[in-house]
């Protein structure tokens, strides 16, 4: 039984498909089939049954999968610990970031990151907060850590608060009022982020505490980024609740204006997050140690 065979087996088990497993691993489907065949020959047991285009794991496969995960996890931890002994680190640091950290916080902090990790290439994937956390929860995460605007109670994660931001109501510059009431807010056409967005969740939580049911608000549109909301508000077709950090340039150029909401101030926090049960590669370990200084 070889480590590579277990890696291939786990992918087939998780994808329920030889072709999808081959695609994830970057190898040919016949190679995947060969690895599974050798594993079955070694064990003397069948591991998968075919059901149409999908493959179904046998009872023996379910037992093997449980132990295979532990074996591969220990292998990765051993490699990470050995590599972490090195004094210098290089390679790629993969970060999953929600929109505001990915679009603004990380780019503006590149100089500090490079000072701590001069030989590391930063690879940032921008997703909403829930998708970043979902990536980190995978058996073999494709990212080293996350920078998000939502904190959960998941005990498998370790968190560090790295900053704060205010969510503000933006309006086109010709909007006359500089301050409105909560009642007036409920009557405005609003552009929102998608349901999984950290910004939207924070807004809805604060409004509910003020006795406003978010479902009663007038929705002008649901857009996938703060940039999209900013551009939509500029047309004069509605208003948006977005990060103040994301509109600094527009406010300075007077392309947008902030309208204060009487009795409502929404402040959110940003967090660095990583898995507790995975030994970080050297670059990720250094970044985690310095993350509060970086941001």
Domain boundaries, the chain: 3-84, 87-295
High-pLDDT (> 70) share of the chain, %: 97
Task: Tell me the average pLDDT across 278-283.
Answer: 87
Q: What SS3 state is found at 276?
A: coil
Q: Give the strand pairing for 218-222 and 179-180.
A: unpaired
Burial class (CB in 10 A: 0-12, 13-18, 19+), 222: middle
Residue 263 region by backbone torsions, left for phi larger than 0, else alpha for psi between -120 and 50, else beta: left
Say what the pTM is.
0.69
Residue 43 region by backbone torsions, left for phi larger than 0, else alpha for psi between -120 and 50, else beta: alpha
Task: Tell me the average pLDDT across 32-54.
Answer: 91
Task: Tell me the average pLDDT across 200-215.
Answer: 92
User: Residue 53: pLDDT above 80?
Assistant: no
At residue 224, the pLDDT reads: 86
147 DSSP β-pair partners: 97, 272
Give the Cα separation of 74 and 206 in Å (integer).
43
Q: Do domains 3-84 and 87-295 have the same CATH topology?
A: no
Question: What is the phi/psi pair of residue 64, to 5°?
Answer: -60, -40
126 touches 97 (CB < 8 A): yes
Residue-wise burial string across 130-168, b where 16 or more C-beta atoms lie within 10 A, e elsewhere:
bbbbebbeeeebebbbbbbbbbeeeeebeebebbebebb
pLDDT band at 27 (very low <50, low <70, confident <90, very high): very high
At residue 88, the pLDDT reads: 52
| Chain segment 122-161, per-residue pLDDT in tens | 999 999 899 999 999 998 898 999 999 989 999 999 999 9
Distance from the first to the final alpha carbon of the chain = 46
**Other CB atoms within 10 Å distance of the CB of residue 119:** 10
Give the Cα separation of 179 and 62 in Å (integer).
60
For domain 87-295, the CATH class is alpha beta
Task: Tell me the average pLDDT across 156-183.
Answer: 96
- Which residues have CB under 8 Å from 234's CB, separation 6+? 172, 250, 255, 256
**Fold assignment, 3-84:** Arc Repressor Mutant, subunit A (1.10.10)
164 DSSP β-pair partners: 269
User: Residue 86: pLDDT above 70?
Assistant: no
- Which residues have CB under 8 Å from 279's CB, separation 6+? 76, 77, 80, 81, 84
202 touches 263 (CB < 8 A): no
Give the Cα separation of 294 and 106 in Å (integer).
9
Q: Which residue has the higher pLDDT, 202 or 85?
A: 202
Task: Tell me the average pLDDT across 36-56.
Answer: 90
């Amino acid at each position: 039984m070889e480590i590579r065979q277990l890696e291939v087996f786990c992918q087939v088990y998780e994808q329920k498909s030889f072709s999808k497993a081959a695609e994830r691993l970057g190898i040919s489907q016949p190679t995947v089939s060969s690895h599974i065949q050798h594993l079955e020959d070694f064990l003397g047991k069948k591991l998968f049954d075919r059901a149409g285009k999908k493959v179904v794991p046998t009872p023996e496969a379910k037992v093997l999968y449980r132990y295979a995960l532990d074996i591969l996890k220990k292998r990765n931890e051993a490699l990470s610990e050995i590599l972490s002994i090195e004094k210098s680190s290089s390679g790629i640091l993969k970060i999953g970031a929600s929109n505001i950290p990915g679009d603004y916080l990380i780019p503006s902090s590149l100089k500090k990151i490079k000072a701590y990790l001069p030989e590391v290439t930063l690879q940032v994937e921008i997703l909403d907060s829930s998708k970043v956390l979902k990536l980190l929860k995978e058996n073999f995460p494709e990212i080293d850590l996350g920078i998000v605007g939502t904190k959960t109670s998941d005990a498998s994660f370790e968190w560090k608060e790295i900053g704060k931001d205010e969510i503000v109501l933006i309006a086109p510059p010709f909007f006359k009022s500089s301050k409105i009431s909560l009642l007036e807010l409920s009557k405005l056409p609003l552009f929102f982020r998608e349901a999984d967005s950290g910004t939207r969740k924070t807004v809805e939580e604060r409004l509910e505490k003020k006795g406003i049911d978010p479902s009663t608000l007038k929705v002008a549109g649901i857009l996938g980024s703060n940039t999209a909301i900013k551009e939509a508000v500029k047309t004069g077709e509605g208003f948006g609740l977005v990060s103040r950090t994301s509109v600094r340039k527009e406010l300075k150029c007077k392309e947008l204006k902030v309208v204060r909401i009487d009795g409502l101030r929404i402040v959110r926090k940003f967090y660095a997050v990583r898995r507790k049960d995975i030994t970080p590669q050297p670059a990720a370990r250094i970044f985690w140690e310095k993350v509060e200084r970086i941001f």
